[in-house]
Amino acid sequence: MGAFEPPLYVSPRSGASFWQEYRIYGDRVELQAWTLFHTIVIPANEIVAVEVRPPVVFADLFRRGGLGSGLALKMDMADIRRHVAVRRKSGFIKWIRFTPDHPEDFVRVCKSILPAARGG
């Protein structure tokens, strides 16, 4: 995929996302996190699982079930809104949770770029 390719999906900035933007490209997910002064790039081949999760009200730092357990990076209002949880293969924190505008659509498009969905 080229450096100047248009994204397949853009979740626009909103209060629920702390005015951050989340994008899906053909080969990666980019989570523009101004709160971390960094854009997190997750290559499609690093994504183990992605799913929509219900609000959890600050109770799931080491939650069991769903995608599993472990430390999760919560980038925005994921504790109190329906959100997306992504598990990646590597990195100190393997679980990333964030609140795109339409979690179901984000997950559907994200799953479409995974190697298994592309026949890889």
Domains in the chain: ranges and CATH? 9-112 (2.30.29)
Nearest to 55 by CA among 16, 110, 87, 14: 16
How many contiguous H segments (helices) and E segments (strands) does the chain have?
1, 8
What are the pLDDT digits (tens) for 4-33? 889 999 998 877 777 789 999 999 999 987
- Residue 22 contacts residue 31 (beta carbons within 8 Å): yes
DSSP secondary structure code for residue 107 in this structure: H
Residues 38-49 have a mean pLDDT of: 94
What are the pLDDT digits (tens) for 81-91? 899 999 999 98
